[in-house]
Amino acid sequence: MKPKIHPELHEVTVHCQCGAEFQTRSTKKELRVEVCSACHNFYTGKQRDMTITGRVEKFNRKYAKKEVAPVAETAVETAPAVEAQ
């Protein structure tokens, strides 16, 4: 390796929004993250499992034809029929 071309690695503490902290190495002095392995859904096993049937039902509910309310028939007066003589 060539000298003085690589950044220095520091031992840092990573702070997550959930309150978890862990040690790692980085070129930065401090790391703050929004999601870590302690709070991410994939790692905690609390991920939402949506089956295919659930997706189909959701699609059908969303795009189903809406029932049209019956049109109230209004009294339409018609002229009396005139018979031809």
- At 11 the pLDDT is 93
Q: Are strands 21-26 and 10-16 parallel, antiparallel or unpaired?
A: antiparallel
Q: Do 15 and 36 form a contact (C-beta atoms < 8 A)?
A: no
Q: What is the pLDDT of residues 8-61, one digit of tens each?
A: 898 999 888 888 888 999 999 888 888 887 787 666 666 665 555 677 888 888
**Averaged pLDDT, 2-13:** 88
- At 64 the pLDDT is 83
- At 73 the pLDDT is 63
- CA dist., res. 52 & res. 72, Å (int): 41
One-letter amino acid for residue 5 of the chain = I
Coil, helix or strand for 58? helix
**Averaged pLDDT, 74-80:** 63
Sorted by where each starts, the structural domains of the chain and their CATH numbers stand as: 10-61 (4.10.80.400)
